[in-house]
Amino acid sequence: MDINKALESKIHLKIATFFHENQASIDTPRGVATWIGEDRNKVKAALEDLVLLKVLIAHRATSTTGYSYTRDEKLISRIDKLLKRPA
Amino acid sequence: MDETKDRIYREELFDRLKKSISLKREEECIGCLIKPTLWWVIERPSPKISELERLVGGSCPYLKKAQARKKATCVKSIFEVIRKATETKKLVKFDCIEGLRGFVYPITQGEKLYGYIGTCYTKKDVSIEVLNIFSAFTDTVVREIQKELELSKLYDMIRPRAIALSTVHTVHRLISSTLDLAELLPRIARLSLQIMRANRCSIKLVDSKKQVLLPKTTVDLRKKKIRLKKVKVGEWAPGKAVKFGRPIRGENYLATPLIDEDVIGVITLYDKIDGKPFSAFDQEIMATLAEQAVIAIKNAQLYKEQERLTMGTIKSLSAVLDRRAPGAYVPRASFAKITIAIGQMMHLDIDTLRVLEYASILHDAGEIVVPDEVLSKPSKLTGKEYEIVKEHPSIGVEIIKHIKALKSVTPIILYHHENYDGTGYPKGLKKDQIPLGARIMAVVSAFEAMITKRPYRTVRSIDDAIEEVRRNSGTQFDPKVVDVFLKALKRRDIRAMLEKELYGHK
SS (H, E, C) B127-143: CHHHHHHHHHHHHHHHH
Q: Which residues in chain B are contacts of A31 at CB distance < 8 A? A: 166, 169-170
Task: Report the pLDDT value the prediction gives residue B311, as an integer from 0 to 100.
Answer: 83
Within 8 A of A68 by CB-CB distance, chain B residues are 194-195
Asked if B167's CB is within 8 angstroms of A27's CB, the reply is yes
CA dist list (Å): B188 to A28, A39, B268, B345, B385: 16, 29, 11, 29, 57
Query: Residue B192, Cα to own-chain centre: how many angstroms?
Result: 10
Residues of A in contact with B200 (CB under 8 A): none
Answer yes or no: do B177 and A62 touch at CB < 8 A.
yes
Q: What pLDDT score was predicted for residue B506?
A: 42
SS3 B104: strand
Top-ranked range on mean pLDDT: pick from B118-122, B342-346, B502-506: B342-346
Contacts of B173 in chain A (CB under 8 A): 28, 61, 63-64, 66
pLDDT confidence band for B324 (50 / 70 / 90): low
Interchain pair B171, A24: CB under 8 A: no
In whole angstroms, what is the distance from residue B242 CA to residue B396 CA? Answer: 49
User: What chain B residue is nearest to A19 in terms of C-alpha separation?
Assistant: B163
B171 → closest Cβ in A26, A62, A73: A26
The whole-angstrom separation of Cα B194 and Cα B216 is 19
Compute the average pLDDT of residues B429-438: 93
Compute the distance between CA of residue B204 and CA of residue B185 in angstroms, rounded to an integer.
9
Q: How far is CA A62 from the centre of its chain?
A: 21
Pick from A57, A59, A73: CB nearest B174: A59
pLDDT, tens digit, 9 for 90 and up, residues B159-212: 988 998 899 999 999 999 888 888 999 999 999 999 999 999 999 999 977 789
Closest by alpha carbon to B182, among B350, B58, B384, B412?
B350
Q: B505 pLDDT exceeds 60?
A: no
- If you count DSSP H runs as helices and E runs as strands, how many of each does chain B have, helices first? 19, 10
Residue B415: CB atoms within 10 Å: 23
Residue B121, classified by CB atoms within 10 Å of its CB into exposed (0-12), middle (13-18) or buried (19+), is buried
Tell me how close the Cα of A50 comes to any Cα of chain B, in angstroms. 17
Average pLDDT over all residues of chain B: 86
The three-state secondary structure class of B48 is: coil
Residue B211 sits at the chain A interface (C-beta within 8 Å): no
Q: Which of A32, A59, A74 to mutate to test the interface with B (most CBs of B within 10 A)?
A: A59
Q: Compare all CA atoms of chain A with the CA of B168 and give the residue at the minimum distance.
A: A26
> Which among B156, B165, B167, B170 is the top mutation candidate for probing chain A, defined by the most A β-carbons within 10 Å of its own β-carbon?
B170
CB of B285 within 8 Å of a chain A CB? The answer is yes
Q: How many CA atoms lie within 13 A of B193 on its CB side?
A: 24
Q: Residues of B with CB below 8 A from A35's CB?
A: 163, 166
Closest residue in A to B196 (Cα) is: A24
The answer on pLDDT for B270 being more than 50 is: yes
Residue of A nearest to B192 (CA): A24
State the DSSP H helix or E strand holding residue B491, giving kind and residue range, or none if neither.
none
Residues of B in contact with A62 (CB under 8 A): 177-178, 349
**B59 burial level (CB within 10 Å; 0-12, 13-18, 19+):** middle
How close is the nearest chain A Cα to the Cα of B61, in Å? Answer: 43
Pairing of strands B231-232, B212-220: antiparallel
Residues B146 and B109 sit within 8 Å (Cβ to Cβ) = yes
pLDDT digits (tens, 9 = 90+) for B460-495: 888 999 999 999 999 999 999 999 999 999 998 888
Give the tens place of pLDDT for each residue, B130-171: 888 888 888 888 889 989 988 988 988 899 889 988 999 999
Q: Are B348 and B339 in contact (CB under 8 A)?
A: no
Q: Do B167 and A24 touch (CB under 8 A)?
A: yes
Cβ of residue B353 closer than 8 Å to a chain A Cβ: no
Query: How does DSSP classify residue B325?
Result: S
**B49 within 8 A of B75, measured Cβ to Cβ:** yes
A22-75 per-position pLDDT tens digit: 999 999 999 999 999 999 999 999 999 999 999 999 999 888 999 999 998 899
Judged by CB atoms closer than 8 Å, whether chains meet at A59 and B194 is answered as: yes
Closest Cβ–Cβ partner in A28, A31, A57 for B194: A57
CB contact under 8 A, A63 and B190: no
Contact present, B212 and B229 (Cβ < 8 Å): no
Residues of chain B with Cβ-Cβ distance to A76 below 8 Å are none
Minimal Cα–Cα distance from A87 to chain B, Å? 24
Cα–Cα distance for residue pair B473/B320, rounded to 1 Å? 33
What is the reported pTM? 0.66
Counting every residue written for chain A, the total comes to 87
Do B167 and A25 count as a contact with CB atoms less than 8 A apart?
yes
Query: What are the distances in angstroms from CA B330 to CA B85, B87, B380, B390, B450?
Result: 101, 100, 22, 20, 11
